[in-house]
Structure 1
Amino acid sequence: MPSDHPRQSEFSFRVNTRLTGSPGNGSSGDVGLGRTGTISTPHGEIQTPAFIAVGTKATVKAVLPESVRDLGAQAVLANAYHLYLQPGPEILDEAGGLGRFMNWSGPTFTDSGGFQVMSLGSGFKKVIEMSVASSAPPGADDAVAPGKERLAHVDEDGVWFTSHLNGDRHRFSPEISMNVQHQIGADIMFAFDELTTLQNSRGYQEESLERTRRWAERCVAEHFRLTDAREGKPYQALFGVIQGAQYEDLRRKACRDLGAMPFDGFGIGGALEKENLGTIVGWCSEELPENKPRHLLGISEPDDIFVSIEAGADTFDCVSPTRVARNSAFYTAEGRLNLSGAKYRRDWGPLQDGCDCYTCQNYSRAYIRHLYKAKELLSHTLISIHNERFVVRMVDDARKAIEDGTFWEFKAHTLGRYYGARV
Structure 2
Amino acid sequence: MTRFLFNIAAMDGKARTGAIAMERGEIRTPAFMPVGTAATVKAMKPQDVRSSGADIILGNTYHLMLRPGAERVARLGGLHRFMGWERPILTDSGGYQVMSLSELTKVSEEGVSFASHLDGTRHMLSPERSIEVQRLLGSDIVMAFDQLVPATAAREEAAAAMERSMRWAKCSRVEFDRGGQHAARAALFGIQQGGLDERLRKASADALIDVGFDGYAVGGLAVGEGHEAMCACLDYAPAQLPEDKPRYLMGVGKPDDIVEAVRRGIDMFDCVLPTRSGRTGQAFTADGPLNIRNARFADEQEPLEPGCPCPTCTKFERAYVHHLVRSGEILGAMLMTEHNLWFYQRLMQGLRDAIAAHRLDEHASQFLSRYRRLA
TM bracket (short chain): over 0.9
Q: 1:42: how far off? A: 1.3
Q: 1:167: how far off? A: 0.5
**Could you report, residue by residue, the CA deviation over 1:313-333 in whole angstroms, capped at 9, with x for unpaired residues?**
001000000111111111111
Gaps of 5+ in 2: none
Structure 1 equivalent of residue 210 of structure 2: 260
Q: Which of the numbers 246, 250, 260 marks the counterpart of 1:307?
A: 260
Structure 2 equivalent of residue 377 of structure 1: 330
CA contact (8 A) 1:300 1:391 kept: no
Structure 1 equivalent of residue 32 of structure 2: 51
Is structure 2 residue 148 aligned with structure 1 residue 195? yes
Q: Which of the numbers 236, 240, 243 marks the counterpart of 1:287?
A: 240
Q: 1:262: how far off? A: 2.1
**SS of match in other structure, 1:37:** strand
Which deviates further from its counterpart, 299-308 or 311-320?
Answer: 299-308
Q: 1:112: how far off? A: 0.1
Query: Could you tell me the TM-score, scaled by structure 1's length?
Result: 0.85
Determine which structure has more spread, i.e. the larger CA radius of gyration: 1
**SS of match in other structure, 1:60:** coil
**SS of match in other structure, 1:332:** coil
CA contact (8 A) 1:34 1:309 kept: yes
Q: 1:305: how far off? A: 0.7
Counterpart CA distance in 1 for 2:168 and 2:183 is 24
Structure 1 equivalent of residue 277 of structure 2: 324
**SS of match in other structure, 1:260:** helix
Structure 1 equivalent of residue 9 of structure 2: 16
Counterpart CA distance in 2 for 1:306 and 1:331 is 14
CA contact (8 A) 1:355 1:361 kept: yes
**Could you report, residue by residue, the CA deviation over 1:278-313 in whole angstroms, capped at 9, with x for unpaired residues?**
332232222211111111111121221111001110
**Could you report, residue by residue, the CA deviation over 1:188-209 in whole angstroms, capped at 9, with x for unpaired residues?**
0100000011453211211111
**SS of match in other structure, 2:339:** helix
Q: 1:97: how far off? A: 2.0
CA contact (8 A) 1:72 1:392 kept: yes
Q: Which of the numbers 173, 176, 196 marks the counterpart of 1:246?
A: 196
Is structure 2 residue 80 aligned with structure 1 residue 99? yes
Counterpart CA distance in 2 for 1:421 and 1:343 is 16
Counterpart CA distance in 2 for 1:198 and 1:303 is 20
CA RMSD of aligned residues (A): 1.5
Is structure 2 residue 160 aligned with structure 1 residue 207? yes
Letter aligned with residue 18 of structure 1: M
Query: Are the structure 2 counterparts of residues 254 and 104 from structure 1 closer, same or farther at C-alpha, using a change threshold of 3 Å?
Result: same
Matches within 5 A, 1:53-68: 53-68=34-49
Letter aligned with residue 9 of structure 2: N
Query: Are the structure 2 counterparts of residues 234 and 60 from structure 1 closer, same or farther at C-alpha, using a change threshold of 3 Å?
Result: farther
Counterpart CA distance in 1 for 2:226 and 2:198 is 13
**SS of match in other structure, 1:151:** strand
Letter aligned with residue 13 of structure 1: F
**SS of match in other structure, 2:235:** helix
Structure 2 equivalent of residue 117 of structure 1: 98
Query: Could you tell me the TM-score, scaled by structure 2's length?
Result: 0.96
Q: 1:266: how far off? A: 1.0
Query: Are the structure 2 counterparts of residues 47 and 290 from structure 1 closer, same or farther at C-alpha, using a change threshold of 3 Å?
Result: same
Q: Which of the numbers 159, 169, 173 marks the counterpart of 2:126?
A: 173
Counterpart CA distance in 2 for 1:50 and 1:382 is 22
Letter aligned with residue 294 of structure 1: R
Counterpart CA distance in 1 for 2:247 and 2:3 is 18
Counterpart CA distance in 2 for 1:386 and 1:234 is 37
Letter aligned with residue 345 of structure 1: A
CA contact (8 A) 1:56 1:79 kept: yes
Q: 1:347: how far off? A: 1.1
CA contact (8 A) 1:264 1:292 kept: yes
Is structure 2 residue 49 aligned with structure 1 residue 38? no
Letter aligned with residue 80 of structure 1: T
Is structure 2 residue 219 aligned with structure 1 residue 269? yes
Counterpart CA distance in 2 for 1:198 and 1:237 is 27
Q: Which of the numbers 302, 307, 311 marks the counterpart of 1:349?
A: 302
Counterpart CA distance in 2 for 1:64 and 1:163 is 28
Q: 1:96: how far off? A: 2.5
Q: 1:421: how far off? A: 6.2
Letter aligned with residue 11 of structure 2: R
Letter aligned with residue 257 of structure 1: A
Which deviates further from its counterpart, 70-79 or 279-288?
Answer: 279-288
**SS of match in other structure, 2:266:** coil
- Corresponding pairs, count: 372
Counterpart CA distance in 1 for 2:219 and 2:64 is 21
Query: Are the structure 2 counterparts of residues 233 and 193 from structure 1 closer, same or farther at C-alpha, using a change threshold of 3 Å?
Result: closer
Structure 2 equivalent of residue 72 of structure 1: 53
Counterpart CA distance in 1 for 2:151 and 2:31 is 28
Query: Are the structure 2 counterparts of residues 15 and 199 from structure 1 closer, same or farther at C-alpha, using a change threshold of 3 Å?
Result: closer
Counterpart CA distance in 2 for 1:233 and 1:309 is 29
Letter aligned with residue 316 of structure 1: F
Counterpart CA distance in 2 for 1:178 and 1:48 is 25
CA contact (8 A) 1:34 1:311 kept: yes
Counterpart CA distance in 1 for 2:311 and 2:161 is 46
